[in-house]
């Protein structure tokens, strides 16, 4: 039987260096890691499999579990975990703590892998990777140049669907309302997808507006004049649009149509929503994590999930000139 010291002797390196290379330790150069991995496969070396605990962590970053918008497929995660005899443990961790590498409760629990959602970024991901266990990210993020594993919604497909539906109703002037931070990767993707979809479908006017709490009249100014948008797509709360329409005497959907990207606002008339099957995404995340636990060297992939439009009375035909 080939042992680790045989690999080390074959390559002229120490046993500890060979062991660290097989664990992809950053202290070992990529070239040496590749040499050790190639030699281990060529000589038929089999590492002892790490004993699994059956525990997986579901982390919400800067979000709490009592926030309905933050569940991100929690039902699907628990269903798939139960079917595969896994025990999900919930954690709510601040982005600041992740940036500082401070997550003692996570370290105290023996876990085989992590599913994470919420406010997440490259710095947090770098810190979490230090745990050397599989990570599946729920959501659309930019986490650096190295590959990562994720379950994402297909933003371009969803935007084309929304814009296409509005075009079929005669709309040719559209607006996109985003949150007050335009630099997040998610909002950049929304902007890009919106401009691409409106260009492809021949929209004569496509306008992007960002929420600005210090300037509450921003939406009202956008909705004034004959050249105003006849339909708005809102990323977050639609309250500013409804408030502005009320102050200007505009009716929804007779004067302007409104679609929300999964907002839970309870508005009248009821909001048309662009939604994804979060339960299916949650199940997919668990299945992806299981594959990664079984095969630590599995290729990291990003899965895209479709979005669908739920019509409601907040959208209607474009108003006649």
**String of DSSP letters for 184-207:** SHHHHHHHHHHHHHHHHTT-SEEE
* Sign for the pseudo-dihedral over CA of 137, 192, 222, 230: negative
Give the chain's largest Cα–Cα span. 82
The pTM for the full model equals: 0.76
Clarify whether residues 258 and 288 are in a common domain. no
Q: What local confidence, expressed as pLDDT, does residue 49 receive?
A: 54
Domain annotation covers residue 310: no
- For residue 88, the domain's CATH number is 3.40.50.2300
Helix axes 4-11, 30-43, angle to 10 degrees: 120
CB count within 10 Å of CB 101 equals: 13
Is-contact 137 285, C-beta < 8 A?
no
Is-contact 258 219, C-beta < 8 A?
no
Clarify whether residues 33 and 174 are in a common domain. no
Q: What local confidence, expressed as pLDDT, does residue 27 receive?
A: 72
Q: Any idea what DSSP says for residue 10?
A: H
Clarify whether residues 170 and 258 are in a common domain. yes
Clarify whether residues 230 and 298 are in a common domain. no
Task: Output the tens digit of pLDDT for each of the chain's 321 residues.
Answer: 788 888 888 888 888 888 878 776 767 888 888 888 888 888 877 665 556 778 899 998 887 665 554 456 788 999 999 999 999 888 888 989 999 888 777 776 688 999 999 889 999 999 998 888 899 999 889 898 889 999 999 999 999 999 999 999 999 999 998 877 767 788 888 999 999 999 998 888 888 887 766 566 778 888 888 888 999 998 877 888 888 899 999 999 999 999 988 766 678 888 898 888 888 999 999 999 999 998 888 889 999 999 999 889 999 999 987
CA separation for the pair 153, 157 (Å, rounded): 9
Clarify whether residues 76 and 122 are in a common domain. yes
Domain annotation covers residue 48: no
Clarify whether residues 163 and 175 are in a common domain. yes
Clarify whether residues 141 and 184 are in a common domain. no
Domain annotation covers residue 318: no
Clarify whether residues 96 and 142 are in a common domain. yes
Q: What local confidence, expressed as pLDDT, does residue 278 receive?
A: 87
270 to 67, 175, 232, 313: CA distances (angstroms): 21, 19, 14, 6
Clarify whether residues 138 and 161 are in a common domain. no
Clarify whether residues 136 and 217 are in a common domain. no
CA separation for the pair 217, 243 (Å, rounded): 10
Clarify whether residues 142 and 163 are in a common domain. no
Clarify whether residues 101 and 234 are in a common domain. no
Q: What local confidence, expressed as pLDDT, does residue 317 receive?
A: 95
Which residue blocks in the chain are alpha helix, DSSP H? 4-11, 15-22, 30-43, 74-83, 95-100, 104-108, 122-128, 155-168, 185-200, 218-222, 239-248, 278-294
Domain annotation covers residue 289: yes
Number of domains present in the structure of the chain: 3
What the block records as the tokens of 105 is 């409760």
Domain annotation covers residue 8: yes
Domain annotation covers residue 199: yes
Report the Cα–Cα distance between both ends of the chain, in Å, rounded.
82
Domain annotation covers residue 312: no
Q: What local confidence, expressed as pLDDT, does residue 314 receive?
A: 93
Domain annotation covers residue 314: no
Domain containing 24 equals 4-43
């Amino acid at each position: 039987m080939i042992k680790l010291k045989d690999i080390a002797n074959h390559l002229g390196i120490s046993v500890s260096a060979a062991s660290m290379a097989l664990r992809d330790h950053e202290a070992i150069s990529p070239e040496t890691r590749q040499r050790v991995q190639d030699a281990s496969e060529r000589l038929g070396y089999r590492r002892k499999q790490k004993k699994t605990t059956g525990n997986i962590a579901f982390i919400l970053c800067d979000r709490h579990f009592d926030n309905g918008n933050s569940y991100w497929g929690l039902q699907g995660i628990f269903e798939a975990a139960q079917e595969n005899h896994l025990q999900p443990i919930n954690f709510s961790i601040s982005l600041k703590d992740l940036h500082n590498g401070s997550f003692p409760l996570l370290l105290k629990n023996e876990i085989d892998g992590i599913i994470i959602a919420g406010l997440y970024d490259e710095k947090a991901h770098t810190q979490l990777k230090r745990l050397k266990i599989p990570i599946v990210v729920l959501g659309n993020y930019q986490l650096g140049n190295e590959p990562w594993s994720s379950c994402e919604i297909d933003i371009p497909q969803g935007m084309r669907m929304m814009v296409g539906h509005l075009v079929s109703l005669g709309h040719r002037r559209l607006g996109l309302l985003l949150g007050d931070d335009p630099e997040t990767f998610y909002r950049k993707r929304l902007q890009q997808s919106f401009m691409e979809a409106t260009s492809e479908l021949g929209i004569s006017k496509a306008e992007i507006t960002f929420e600005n709490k210090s300037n509450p009249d921003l939406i009202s100014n956008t909705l004034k004049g004959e050249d105003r948008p006849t339909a708005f797509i809102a990323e977050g709360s639609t309250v500013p649009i409804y408030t502005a329409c009320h102050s200007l005497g505009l009716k929804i959907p007779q004067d302007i149509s409104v679609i929300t990207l999964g907002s839970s606002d309870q508005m009248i008339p009821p909001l048309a929503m662009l939604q994804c099957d979060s339960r299916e995404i949650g199940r997919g995340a668990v299945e992806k994590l299981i594959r990664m636990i079984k095969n630590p060297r599995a290729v990291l992939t990003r899965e895209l999930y479709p979005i669908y439009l739920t019509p409601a009375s907040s959208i209607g035909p474009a108003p006649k000139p």
